[in-house]
Structure 1
């Protein structure tokens, strides 16, 4: 079996978020089996870079046997020059290719990918309702008042979720997106952000876990400030309290708080995670399988984390392809903690872009047992996408 071509789909879902632009690929073979993967840059800036990298890297793998996932990954690392220094744009392309190859491999053997990675350690996984600052509905809202945050959390809990995540810093009191890298928080800011989290705790009670999302909007000083302020609210873990560029600074925050720290959605490869595992600054690592290097690398990162008693929560913010890939690896690794169900996954255009509808029930995801990753793009998503084919 040989790789013959790659289709690059820029999905067209306007109106979901100010900037929402998933990039999905389909790797085709001479046997008629195709596999899907996603570059994890559906948000922020960089999707066109991912498209460019995919065009470049596709030329490196056409003619290869798709079953040789390890050899292909190493080829892209060793023989592209930038593999040994590439960041999220380069590795989003590697990730998409790697996931698509695992999808092909599972379809060839007619088994879910998890069977090829060691089999299940679980048949379902708890999910959390993610990014409540945008509401928990079929359309995006920018929430401002503590009551709005409480109502969003209450709605999620009413659907069976026992854990929620919120970024209380992202949206300012006037409804505008806030600035990054807060220095010291003023008492006014501290009060607004705290009140939002406190309102959620009051609304959901003591038995629901609250994950505090920071999106690296704080620095060491303000992160320590706010961690001390919310300590009594029993935070499950604090995500991306500062920029992941300096692991020693993350360690400094951890030394000042008993709240477990999490990070990793902007990190690539096992080499990017190694410093955080070596200094044990994180209790939870959050690789994104659309950025870190795909399923091949995600498994290695997870195994490395296990040697340091570090849990894994894959970052998931993309199309149903991204969700499917994460569920396959979550089924396998013993240190998988919880699954991220992003509010973008509630949106009808997002749901409809997948061939199969697969959502949590009562706050839990059942692991799908279809061959491969268990998901493909729907015909409607493909018809609406901007498509480029590399042969």
Structure 2
């Protein structure tokens, strides 16, 4: 079989804007829209693959267009030498940011197109399926404009009724608020649920330690980003806090994760496929985590293309160090905030089925884009 070539690549910025009172977010601030930059890649055989980059910045779209010029006519080889060459040549810019996200979106689209060309799911290309079902945790409990505690509690009750066995909530608003929100989550979700606490790096190391000291009684499954991602000495100061630490959503490429993993600064690494450099880089990061026996749980907060890529990635991650008896699930982050880019862009969005998210059997990423929804959400419309 002849490997197809890339015929054209298009950047498509999409956005779902909120009314002012519907904004939500984290201790760092509220978001007033969900946004992404999609990549539509078409091969010379007419096969279309989709990718996604974090956010809908015009800078990301411009970078995708620039990269597309150099890839026209190239062989469809996801995570091939083109990506390594790009990172090496552009080393002034390739440690993070829009450049890496743009390249990663094209990489995801290549994997999707190759899977569709061969008629196999992407997880087969990534090494083979290791699981048919993924255990999701609900990413919810967001910061809102008024932070009404009653609505916060009502949202947790809905998630418990839906059957989630793990829920992540936002903290970092102050010590008393942290305790109140964690206590409510534990009371509503019960003693067996995994309660994951996300500070979004809004504290200094001493503040994070003070909060964690008061949160241990609620047995958190992990504390996510207690300090900012680049505060490596702060991470080291928190290693003895007695609670698992997680981070990685704002870290780029295997090189950004190398010391985080090798120095065991965290217990759970969380690359985001729409930021870290695509599926190929995320797979390498998963291998690094396995090598150092560190847990792996991707950050998933984008649209349905990034979500589908994360599902394919997790479907191919091997079990380690255990074989048959895992102490905890390999978690899939299942964002429950309002997001039309996640719920409307695919003809069949990922939903909870008997407490699990099923790995699709279809070729490529296993989703089909709803063209009507795409037209409605495109920024250029």
Q: Same fold (TM over 0.5)?
A: yes
State the SS of the aligned residue for 1:298.
helix
Matched, 1:218 2:218: no
Is the Cα contact below 8 Å between 2:52 and 2:108 reproduced in 1?
Answer: yes
Partner of residue 349, structure 2: 357
Matched, 1:144 2:147: yes
Is the Cα contact below 8 Å between 2:95 and 2:256 reproduced in 1?
Answer: no
d(CA) in 1 for partners of 2:288, 2:146? 38
What root-mean-square deviation, in Å, do the aligned CA atoms of Structure 1 and Structure 2 show? 1.9
Q: 1:337 to 1:247 in 2, by over 3 A?
A: farther
Deviation at 1:337, TM superposition (A): 2.1
State the SS of the aligned residue for 1:39.
strand
Runs of 4+ in 1 over 6 A off after TM superposition: none
Partner of residue 206, structure 1: 191
Deviation at 1:57, TM superposition (A): 1.4
d(CA) in 1 for partners of 2:306, 2:97? 16
Deviation at 1:202, TM superposition (A): 1.0
1:61 to 68, 71, 83: 71
Deviation at 1:387, TM superposition (A): 5.6
1:369 to 361, 369, 378: 361
Matched, 1:303 2:287: yes
Partner of residue 36, structure 2: 22
State the SS of the aligned residue for 2:10.
strand
State the SS of the aligned residue for 2:80.
helix
1:35 to 49, 63, 66: 49
Is the Cα contact below 8 Å between 2:16 and 2:33 reproduced in 1?
Answer: no
Partner of residue 104, structure 2: 95
Is the Cα contact below 8 Å between 2:10 and 2:65 reproduced in 1?
Answer: no
State the SS of the aligned residue for 1:254.
coil
Deviation at 1:349, TM superposition (A): 6.0
Deviation at 1:152, TM superposition (A): 1.4
d(CA) in 1 for partners of 2:369, 2:92? 30
CA offsets 1:221-253 (integer angstroms, 9 cap, x no match): 111011100001000000011111132321211
Q: 1:349 to 1:56 in 2, by over 3 A?
A: closer
Deviation at 1:89, TM superposition (A): 1.1
CA offsets 1:87-107 (integer angstroms, 9 cap, x no match): 121111011010000001100
> Residues 1-391 of structure 1 correspond to what in structure 2 (within 5 A)?
1-15=4-18, 17=23, 18-41=32-55, 47-67=57-77, 69-82=79-92, 85-133=94-142, 142=145, 144-169=147-172, 189-255=174-240, 257-334=241-318, 337-344=330-337, 347-348=339-340, 350-384=342-376, 385-386=378-379
Q: 1:127 to 1:143 in 2, by over 3 A?
A: farther
Partner of residue 323, structure 2: none
Q: 1:75 to 1:355 in 2, by over 3 A?
A: farther
Is the Cα contact below 8 Å between 1:128 and 1:363 reproduced in 2?
Answer: no
d(CA) in 2 for partners of 1:288, 1:349? 16
Deviation at 1:281, TM superposition (A): 1.1
Q: How many matched pairs?
A: 357
> Please, what TM-score do these two structures have when normalized by structure 2?
0.89
Structure 2 spans left out of the alignment, 5+ residues: 24-31, 320-328
Q: 1:156 to 1:224 in 2, by over 3 A?
A: same
d(CA) in 2 for partners of 1:271, 1:246? 16
d(CA) in 2 for partners of 1:273, 1:159? 34
d(CA) in 2 for partners of 1:372, 1:387? 27
> Please, what TM-score do these two structures have when normalized by structure 1?
0.86
Deviation at 1:358, TM superposition (A): 2.3
Is the Cα contact below 8 Å between 1:160 and 1:361 reproduced in 2?
Answer: no
Q: 1:68 to 1:239 in 2, by over 3 A?
A: closer
